[in-house]
Structure 1
Amino acid sequence: MPISEGDSVTISYVGRLEDGTVFDTSDEELAREAGVDEEYPERSFKPLEVKLGSDRVIEGLAEELVGMEVGEEKTITIPPEKAYGPHTEDRVAEYDRADFDEMIGDRELAEGFEVETEDGLPGEVVDFDAGSVTVDFNHELAGETLTFEIEVLAVE
């Protein structure tokens, strides 16, 4: 029976950037080979379970799953607009260095330093000097065209 909105779907997948770099996968061995496991050492690489319509999966992937059936495989390309959106400058903020240092306490500031707003929005320090700190709150995959190789394993 074809997948429809509201179904719970389990898929195996490999996500790649346009240059072929693996950025995510459900395959533990591939995760090790690609170094994805080092980036996310606490993560368990296993098939993804998602309920369509719950906003727990990017729009382009959810759209492509509709109509597929158990055992079906597909390679799909998803533009930024249907993935994590475009990278926008309005999601890059500048803060006073002294205020920022007070906020992070004893932790050492460096490029790549990860922060989170009071609302839970994650960001990454992309630049800093003696007077200011620049934080990028765009998703790390914003602006990227993504390719997924997927296989539907189960549908409920």
Structure 2
Amino acid sequence: MWKKRFLLSALAGLAMGTANAAPAIIGTSFAMPADIAAVKISQQLTARHFKVVDNLNVLPRIHKGNPQLAARIPPDIQAERLLVVCQSSSIVGYLRTDPAATSLCPITLSLVQINGKTTAYYLQRSALLTDNAAARAVGQKADESVLDALHAAQKQ
């Protein structure tokens, strides 16, 4: 259990970024429910050669599996969806530059709905790849594709 907590805290520390760097976690707002945003985002990601591996509706699973835990969810959270996607070109790029970076695949976007509006959260890959410029370039290309898809989905 301590290993899991350590890894989560280490990832959280990395995600915070530095004062001079862009934030590692990007939030993109949608004036629509999470299920509709998920469809629009999935369409845009697919157009950019991502494969949607899973689209999980998380809250019903928590409510069904652990009602005591579900009672701790803030009441204004109406939905939480996880979009899990992968892009073959990113995996190949990481294999060529830094095989350990394949641990950044697949990409998970977290969609949180509050008061009928959704925010899609994305952890930028390039922010985590600080030691290898070639792998960071692969991550930057993936980041640009995901962020472009999110912005295009906003306009739909």
- Of structures 1 and 2, the larger Rg is shown by 1
Between the two structures, name the one with larger relative contact order (CA 8 Å, sep ≥ 6).
Answer: 1
TM-score under structure 1 length normalisation: 0.26
TM-score under structure 2 length normalisation: 0.26
